[in-house]
Amino acid sequence: MEQSELLCTATDVAYALLCSGAEIYRVEEAVLRIFDAYGVSGGSVFAIPSLLIVSIRHEDSLPLTNIRRIRENGTDVEKIRACNDLCRRICAQRLSAQQIRQELAIIAKKPTYTFGQILVAYAVVAFGFTLVFGGGLLDAVAALIAGAAVKLTLHQLEKYDTNFFFTTILASFVAAAVASLCVVFGLGAMPDKIIIGTLMLLVPGTALTSSMRDIMAGDLIAGLTRLATALIIATGIALGAGFALTLLRTLGVA
């Protein structure tokens, strides 16, 4: 495979992994393994959640560099699995650039669950965790509503280019407000359990886990970035719920 093609291919695979929330070491190893499979030893890669830099230099030729900026980090477990699998196959079978592009296109087109399914999922997560943390059945039903409200809020906010801190505050506000109002209207008796169950939708479990795995692997910049993200989200959750409860209590509602 030609050098620039190899560079672009490796970058594309790594980019797909990074956008789906893979660990930094997985992204960087993917690039190096692909280079290795095609016999290129002068490759370099650097990745953090918001930036990917890949460079290739084969023997006496000039080095080529490709950089990709990542604006939005989602988590897509299936895409991570598929890209990881593709990377293995690239190394095992030495696929052509054309084939790799086709495979990547297939992966990119893979559907996520529909909005309706995810809406129900949000509701059920809140429902489940309310029960886990000691809420009653009515509390859990209230959490269904609160969980769905959170997803609707997040969905609406996607249309605007807001930062994740603000989004978290707003979503947490909605969660606490809806949960408290449900209790006011007689659905459920333990507003704190409902709120906690619903807030589990927002807690930065993925950021915390990924940050630890990155730090463990030696990728301190990425690890600390993700850790900061986790802390900011946690603060946003506290602030949002705090605003909602203060507001409702001041109004004499909750």
Any contact of residue 206 with another protein (CB under 8 A)? yes
Residue 116 CB, nearest approach to another protein (Å): 11
Residue 111 CB, nearest approach to another protein (Å): 9
The first and second tokens of residue 91, run together, are: 């190394």
CA proximity to 135, closest of 203, 195, 190:
190
Write each residue from 26 to 45 as x if it is in contact with another protein (CB under 8 A), else as -, in one continuous string: x--x---x------------
> Of the two residues 113 and 166, which places its CB atom closer to another protein in the complex?
113
Any contact of residue 165 with another protein (CB under 8 A)? no
CA dist., res. 52 & res. 65, Å (int): 10
Any contact of residue 10 with another protein (CB under 8 A)? no
User: In the 8-state DSSP scheme, what is residue 130?
Assistant: H
> For the chain, how big is the Rg over CA atoms in Å?
22
- Rounded to an integer, what is the distance from CA 137 to the centroid of its chain? 30
Q: Residues for the chain: how many in total?
A: 254
Amino acid identity of residue 5, one-letter, is E
Any contact of residue 144 with another protein (CB under 8 A)? no
Output phi, psi for 88, to 5 deg. -60, -45
CA dist., res. 125 & res. 110, Å (int): 24
Any contact of residue 129 with another protein (CB under 8 A)? yes
Any contact of residue 23 with another protein (CB under 8 A)? yes
Any contact of residue 79 with another protein (CB under 8 A)? yes
User: In the 8-state DSSP scheme, what is residue 189?
Assistant: S
Among 133, 138, 164, 224, binds another protein (CB under 8 A): 133
Residue 241 CB, nearest approach to another protein (Å): 6
Any contact of residue 132 with another protein (CB under 8 A)? yes
Tell me whether strands 51-56 and 64-69 are parallel, antiparallel or unpaired.
antiparallel
Among 61, 137, 246, 253, binds another protein (CB under 8 A): 246
Within 10 angstroms of residue 1's Cβ, the number of other Cβ atoms is 18
Sites of contact with another protein (CB under 8 A): 21-23, 26, 29, 33, 75-81, 84-85, 88, 91, 112-113, 117-118, 120-125, 127-129, 131-133, 192, 195-196, 199-201, 203-206, 208-213, 215-217, 230, 234, 237-239, 241-242, 245-246
